[in-house]
Amino acid sequence: SQLHDVSSIHDCKIVLLGDSGVGKSSLVLRFVNNTFSPWQESTIGASFLTKTIVVDDMAYKYQIWDTAGQEKYHTLIPMYYRDASAAIIVYDITKPETFDAVKAWVKELRTMGSPDTVVAIAGNKCDLAENRAVAVESAQAYADEIGALFIETSAKTAENVPEMFRRIPAMLP
Ligand code: GTP
Ligand code: MG
């Protein structure tokens, strides 16, 4: 109903990256279906979902590639971030090693990816802040240093999930 001119739908390929268990699939399912499962199964290979949203009177068809974080699938992942408009790199705020993995993904994107791919870093599971192991300040400082968006999210409570996806268009070149 918000869309009058279908010719102005912009395709936007988004890839989610990050360690297994950080909540990539949960974030996508929260955004696309507004659902959450405490028993979300680990992704095999990758999964693909789409959602069209309107931001500032412009329609964007998000083509979302939710990759598998298990190491055995790593070699598949370049084909998903190649020519992506945006990469959302996810970590779990209660697991510091998953934040180290964010830095490794940024390095890989810089060497193997497109310079036009914008990066957003999501500190997920912010509902578990009592078990926090990564400070907001250090994550924000790292994001600033590399020119990325930083946001803490919870797929469980939905906090900041639509906001994160809705901020992507403003970041695009
Ligand atoms: P792979 O597919 O293996 O790469 O994992 P993933 O990054 O897709 O993680 P997934 O979405 O499968 O979530 C892993 C577990 O964390 C599941 O049990 C989810 O229910 C849980 N989970 C995901 N997001 C949140 C969150 O924001 N808060 C809490 N408390 N749990 C979450
Ligand atoms: Mg998954």
Q: What is the ipTM of this complex?
A: 0.99
Task: Give the separation between CA 93 and CA 139, rounded to whole angstroms.
Answer: 10
> pLDDT of the chain along its 173 residues, tens only?
555 555 689 999 999 999 999 999 999 999 999 999 999 999 999 999 999 999 988 999 999 999 999 999 999 999 999 999 999 999 999 999 999 999 999 999 999 999 999 999 999 999 999 999 999 999 999 999 999 999 999 999 999 999 999 999 999 98
Beta sheet of 118-124, edge-to-edge order: 46-55, 58-67, 9-17, 86-92, 118-124, 149-152
Ligand 1 and 160: CB distance under 6 A: no
Of 63, 81, 111, 113, give the one whose Cα is nearest residue 17: 81
Residues near ion ligand 2 (Cβ under 5 Å)? 24-25, 43
pLDDT of residue 8: 85
Ligand 1 and 127: CB distance under 6 A: yes
Neighbours of 11 (CB within 10 A): 11
Count of residues making up the chain: 173
Ligand 1 atom closest to 153 (CA): 27
Strands 58-67 and 46-55: antiparallel
| Matching residue, tokens 């999210």 | 153
Ligand 1 atom closest to 37 (CA): 20
